[in-house]
Structure 1
Amino acid sequence: MTADIRPSRDVREGTATRRALVLFAALASLPGVACADDWAATVAVSSQLVDRGIPISAPGPVAQGAVNWFTPSGWSFGASASYQTRPVGRVAETLLQGAKAWRIDDDWQAQASALYYRYPDNPAWRAFERVELGGTVIFRDVLTVGLSAAERLHGGGTPRGALDVGLRWPLGDHLSLAAGAGVARYLVAPYHYYDGQRVGTGSTSYAYGHAGLAWTDGAWRVEVLRVMADRDRRPFEREASPWLATVARSF
């Protein structure tokens, strides 16, 4: 559920957390069918960068920015970056994406996407750099179901799949419930040490989820989420904070 920002074409609402919010981000990124080429941008600050339940950054402020270009035929292209302000300043994650959206009927929409992830200032995360292909279906901007496969750029191996289901339920004029759950294969297999030797845990997949509230008013968005994951800890030494907060502004 970790944190790139993909602003909605139609309502200009920015989602500012990465894969802890992957389900909601997939919904927010849907460009729909436009009347003309257009641009959108979002800036945000999050309390941590989390990617499908795995912490990308240490707890602490993460500044984020994204820009997206949309075409009348449903294509969109974008780039985003996340900067960890402490304990040391570093670019935590960069992301390039392309997507094609279709409106099936008044209730259903679909999107196919390709994403490229890179972690330029964190050599330890080089093994997580990847290309990811995915498909998403959306029901009335309320229910989102996504299926994806990631291919690591370093280290090889078979593609790693993930299934995500998300829900955004309006509670009032500005408030909504944001929840989701998913299951994914580890990009890098977890391990532990036994008698001084590194030993694999045997785990190949894990589950994760989030639940919380989102408040939106015009171009502003605030989210507070409870993040959960049943993953093995190693090689992910840092722990994800149980709560994730984001403030975002779209343009």
Structure 2
Amino acid sequence: MAGPRIDAFRRRALLAGLALSAGAANAQWGGAIGYGTDNVYRGVSLSSGQPAWLADLHYRGDGWTAGFGASQERPPFQSSGAQLTLYADRYWSLDDDWSAKVGVVHYESPWNVWRNELRYNDVTAAIGWRGRWRLSIALSPDMPGIFSYLGAQKGFAGSAELSYRQPIRGRLSANAGLGVAHLHVAGLSYRYGSAGLSYGVGDVYIYTSLLWSSPDALRYNTGARDQTRWVTSVVWSF
């Protein structure tokens, strides 16, 4: 969903209905199903630039959310599979304008031939202002080096993203974001960004954005070779 997110297909906080808004008073189940023209993760494609689906199911209540997610991946020279995630978030309303969250995410790619190397974890934190500005940070102690042709090595990785949403009219919004990522085990750093529009109809949102990444992002072993591309996604939340 290339909209208020830099990751065109990946902002779990949006799918989980958090949007850095900690006002949910009642425990409830929710989720989302979507389809997009690419599966982009921190500026790089996990589906070799091809269309991909996603699904999310979560339970939210009293400042906590826990859930399970899945998104299609198409590794180079392999059959299509899926990346699975388990996550938990704790979020707060700091005042009428500011909200924040911290969380953990566990990743698995059971159909990938590198499945053992692609098992890793993230610790995340984010702060947002009035649903407009959002700053997020993710740190991983065991990011796999396979993303940059380093085989089974693992090491520290981190990323930071700043995104902005500007309502235009009704449920039409303009969205933009910038991010930077560093994979220490590979000595690799790169930048990425997005700019586009989102529109909501009932429980369905449509996102379209122009995505950009710096040349070093192409060193990732994910099959994508374009520094810029348009990505459009449709997501139904329930």
Q: Same fold (TM over 0.5)?
A: yes
* Residue 152 of structure 1, aligned match among 142, 147, 150: 142
Q: Which amino acid aligns with 1:250?
A: S
* Residue 72 of structure 2, aligned match among 83, 87, 93: 83
* Residue 95 of structure 1, aligned match among 85, 95, 111: 85
Range with greater deviation from structure 2 (53-62 or 129-138): 53-62
| Rounded Cα–Cα distance in structure 2 between residues aligned with 1:89 and 1:40 | 30
Residue 93 of structure 1: CA displacement?
A: 1.3
Q: Is this contact kept in 2: 1:17–1:50, CA < 8 A?
A: no
Q: Which amino acid aligns with 1:238?
A: A
Q: Is this contact kept in 1: 2:35–2:54, CA < 8 A?
A: yes
Structure 1: tracts of 5 or more residues without a match:
4-14, 190-202
Distance 1:132 1:115, change over 3 A: same
Choose between structure 1 and 2: higher strand proportion: 2
Residue 18 of structure 1: CA displacement?
A: 8.3
Range with greater deviation from structure 2 (132-141 or 235-244): 235-244
Distance 1:220 1:91, change over 3 A: same
Identity level (%): 24
Distance 1:89 1:17, change over 3 A: farther
Residue 212 of structure 1: CA displacement?
A: 0.5
TM (normalized to structure 1)? 0.78
Residue deviations 1:67-120 (CA, integer Å, cap 9, x gap): 110012x00001111135999863331111100001000000000010111222
- The match for 2:58 is 68
Distance 1:26 1:209, change over 3 A: farther
- The match for 1:239 is 225
When the two chains are superposed, the root-mean-square deviation of aligned CA atoms in Å is: 2.9
Residue 187 of structure 1: CA displacement?
A: 6.6
| Rounded Cα–Cα distance in structure 1 between residues aligned with 2:126 and 2:56 | 21
How many residue pairs are counted as aligned between the two chains? Answer: 224
Structure 2: tracts of 5 or more residues without a match:
145-151
- The match for 2:7 is 19
- The match for 1:204 is 188
SS of 2:169's equivalent in the other structure is coil
- The match for 1:183 is 180
